[in-house]
Homo-oligomer: A and B are copies of this chain.
Amino acid sequence: MSMKLPSRSENFSDWYNQVVLKAELADYAPVRGCMVVRPYGWTLWENIQAALDRRFKETGHVNAAFPLLIPISFLEKEKDHVKGFSPELAVVTIGGGEKLEEPLIVRPTSETVIGSMYSKWIKSYRDLPVLINQWGNVVRWEMRTKLFLRTLEFYWQEGHTAHATSDEAQEETLKMLDVYTDFAVNEAAVPVVPGRKSEREKFAGAVDSYTIEAMMGDTRALQSATSHFLGQNFARAFDIQFLDWNNQMQYVWTTSWGLSTRFIGAIIMTHGDDQGLVLPPRLAPIQVVIIPIYRNDDERAVVMPVVDMVREAISDYRIHIDDRQEVTPGFKFNDWEMRGVPLRIEIGPKDVAKETLTLSRRDILGKTGKKQIPQKGLLSEVDKILIDIQSSLLDKAKQFREVNTHDPGDFAEFIEVVKNGWAFSWWCGDPECEARIKEETTATTRCIPQDQPTGNGRCIYCGNNATERVIFARAY
Contacts and interface: CB of A to CB of B under 8 A. Distances in A.
A453 interface: no
Interface stretch (A62-70, A172-180, A202-210, A410-418): A62-70
Majority SS at the chain A contact face: mixed
Given A27-B120, A39-B132, A132-B39, A34 B67 contact: yes
Nearest to A285: B62
Interface string A98-113: 0000011010000001
Contact of A34 (B46, B69, B121): B69
Per assembly, the copies of the chain total 2
A126 B31 contact: no
A214 to B, nearest CB: 23
A381 interface: no
A297 to B, nearest CB: 19
Given A42-B63, A93-B91, A94-B90, A69 B113 contact: no
Interface in A112-165: 113, 116-117, 120-121, 126, 132, 136-137, 139, 141, 143, 152-153, 155
18 contacts: A27-B120, A29-B117, A30-B71, A30-B74, A36-B64, A36-B65, A36-B67, A37-B65, A42-B65, A43-B63, A46-B63, A67-B153, A69-B106, A69-B152, A90-B92, A91-B92, A91-B94, A92-B92
A282 B326 CA distance: 44
Interface in A388-429: none
Interface residues of A, number: 57
Given A62-B43, A64-B38, A137-B136, A87 B96 contact: yes
Please provide the 4 A-B residue pairs with the shortest distance between their CB atoms, ordered closest to farther. A96-B141, A39-B62, A91-B94, A37-B65
A193 interface: no
A30 B66 CA distance: 10
A88 B97 CA distance: 7
A211 to B, nearest CB: 25
Interface string A55-79: 0000000111111111100100000
Given A90-B92, A136-B137, 4 more contacts: A31-B70, A43-B62, A69-B90, A106-B106
Contact of A69 (B27, B31, B74, B89): B31
A35 interface: yes
Interface of A: 27, 29-31, 34-39, 41-43, 45-46, 62-71, 74, 86-97, 103-104, 106, 113, 116-117, 120-121, 126, 132, 136-137, 139, 141, 143, 152-153, 155, 326
A89 B96 contact: yes
A142 to B, nearest CB: 8
A65 B139 CA distance: 14
Contacts of A141: 95-97
Contacts of A93: 91-94
A46 B50 CA distance: 12
Contact of A97 (B46, B66, B87, B116): B87
A113 B30 contact: yes
B66 A116 contact: no
A427 B238 CA distance: 57
A103 B88 CA distance: 16
A94 B104 contact: no
Nearest to A126: B326
A31 B101 CA distance: 12
B104 A97 contact: no
A43 B137 CA distance: 18
Contacts of A66: 29, 36
A38 B45 CA distance: 24
A29 B104 CA distance: 13
Contacts of A132: 39
Which among A31, A39, A326 has the highest number of chain B CB atoms within 10 Å? A31
A95 B104 contact: no
Contacts of A106: 68-69, 92, 106
A223 B43 CA distance: 30
B94 A88 contact: no
Contacts of A62: 39, 42-43
A96 B141 CA distance: 5
B104 A31 contact: yes
Which among A71, A95, A137 has the highest number of chain B CB atoms within 10 Å? A95
